[in-house]
Copies of this chain bind each other. A is one copy, B any other.
Amino acid sequence: MLLAPWRSPLSRALHRNRSLPNARYFQLATVRSNGHPANRTVVFRGFASDSDRLQMVTDTRSQKVDQIGNLGWSEICWYFPKTREQFRLNGSLILVRPDEPEDEAQERRSQIWQSLSDNARSQFGWPHPGTPRSEHSSFEVQPLDPKSPPDTFCILMLEPVWVDHLELRGDPQDRTVYERNALDSWSVQSVHP
Given A30-B37, A37-B73, A39-B39, are A192 and B128 neighbors across the interface (CB < 8 Å)?
Answer: yes
Measured CA separation A178–B80 after assembly (Å): 30
Q: How many chain copies? A: 2
Given A132-B191, A133-B191, A191-B130, are A39 and B27 neighbors across the interface (CB < 8 Å)?
Answer: yes
Query: Which of A3-11, A104-112, A119-127 has 4 or more CB atoms under 8 Å from chain B?
Result: A119-127
Q: In the complex, which of the residues B39, B126, B128, B131 contacts A76, with contact meaning CB atoms closer than 8 Å?
A: B39
Interface residues on A, range: 35 or more
Beta-carbon contact of B123 and A193 below 8 Å? yes
Q: Which residues of B contact A15 (CB under 8 A)?
A: none
A84 to chain B: closest CB distance in Å? Answer: 9
Q: Which of A30, A122, A175, A192 has the most CB of B within 10 A?
A: A192
